[in-house]
């Protein structure tokens, strides 16, 4: 015990679900022990605090665009053909989708453009 490199002991209390999750992740890691897995997490791991507000806003905007496209499609199906204004509006909505997507991706530093 005196020759140990790691002399500091750390006690951690987990719920049954937390312990099950820890064991599953440890086994998937392929590391030889739970201690080795936890050391790897401490040294190389990250804790993410994800703000989903942008994603919710993005999904709301996509839903609105989708509703508009559905209205155009219904109108076209009823009339049997698309008017030039229908086509123009659909193209504008598709452009809005691409701009929204580009804006969404630009807010996340992990995505390179």
pLDDT tens for the chain, 113 residues long, are 567 788 888 899 999 999 999 999 999 888 999 999 999 999 988 766 667 777 788 888 888 888 888 888 888 888 888 888 888 888 888 888 888 778 777 776 554 44
Closest CA to 66 of 102, 96, 22: 96
Rounded Cα–Cα distance for residues 29 and 38 (Å): 11
pLDDT at 14: 95
Rounded Cα–Cα distance for residues 31 and 43 (Å): 14
Closest CA to 38 of 54, 57, 19: 19
Rounded Cα–Cα distance for residues 107 and 113 (Å): 11
Structure tokens at 36: 């080795």
């Amino acid at each position: 015990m005196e020759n140990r490199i790691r002399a500091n002991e750390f006690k951690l209390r987990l719920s049954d679900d937390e312990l099950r999750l820890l064991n599953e992740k440890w086994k998937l890691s392929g590391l030889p022990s739970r201690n080795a897995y936890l050391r790897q997490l401490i040294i190389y791991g990250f804790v993410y605090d994800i703000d989903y507000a942008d994603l919710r806003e993005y999904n709301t905007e996509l839903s609105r665009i989708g509703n508009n496209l559905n209205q155009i499609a219904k109108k076209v199906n009823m009339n049997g053909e698309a008017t030039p204004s229908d086509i123009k509006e659909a193209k504008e909505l598709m452009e809005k989708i691409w701009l929204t997507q580009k804006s969404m991706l630009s807010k996340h530093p992990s995505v390179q453009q």
